[in-house]
Amino acid sequence: MWCGIEDVVGVALTQLKDSLQNRVIHIALDPELPSVPLDEVLIEQVLINVLSNAIKYSPEGSEIRIEAEKAGDRLLLSIMDEGAGIPPADRERIFEKFYRGNRTKHIPGTGLGLAICKSIVEAHGGSITASERKDGRQGTVIELSLLLTQ
Ligand code: ATP
Ligand code: MG
């Protein structure tokens, strides 16, 4: 289905509303964004997994930013947190099944969330990557790149 990314973000945040625990959500989506060909339920699940990591691995009261822009034939969606961050050596491995970073082993999880995100995003012809924040803050950026054409 062709969907507005703002609707998909909205559904994911609604599902997570009881676990936000004082995280401040800042949403900056370009108002001119075109619709995206996607499976709504699956991409909602991707956002739920990425956002629940942003919540789980960041301190209460910190900010989570969601930004989206069009870049050529792609929509780029970034989820940024102010949490522990992911060391460069782990930034590809976190997308492997059952891989959990050393910094976060004390927080329960299975290590499956991002592996599932990667298969869903790749099934859409897109990609998902982790990087550091470009604004100098501590934290993680997860970027989804989704095709805007079929
Ligand atoms: P679950 O299957 O319950 O989601 P998980 O959160 O450990 O468990 P993934 O979501 O796949 O599994 O994440 C893999 C690892 O990547 C995490 O264990 C953590 O070390 C790291 N990670 C993911 N997102 C973040 C983040 N926003 N900040 C810091 N580390 C992160
Ligand atoms: Mg997770």
Residue 91 Cβ inside 6 Å of ligand 1? The answer reads: no
CA 106 – ligand 2 centroid, Å: 13
Q: Is this complex scored with an ipTM above 0.90?
A: yes
Q: What is the pTM of this model?
A: 0.98
CA 31 – ligand 1 centroid, Å: 30
Residue 113: pLDDT band (50, 70, 90) is very high
Q: Which ligand is nearest to the CA of 128?
A: 1
Predicted pLDDT at 150: 81
Own/partner pairs, 125-133, CB within 8 angstroms, 24+ separation: 126/74, 128/46, 128/95, 129/91, 130/86, 130/91, 130/92, 130/94, 130/95, 131/91, 132/85, 132/88, 133/80
Beta-bridge mates of residue 145: 76, 127
Q: Rounded mean pLDDT of 72-96?
A: 97
81-103 in b/e burial notation, b at 16+ Cβ within 10 A? bbbbbbeeebeeebbeeeebbee
33-63: per-residue pLDDT in tens? 999 999 999 999 999 999 999 999 999 999 9
Which residue has its alpha carbon closest to ligand 1 atom 19? Answer: 101
Q: Which ligand is nearest to the CA of 139?
A: 1
Residue 104 Cβ inside 6 Å of ligand 1? The answer reads: yes
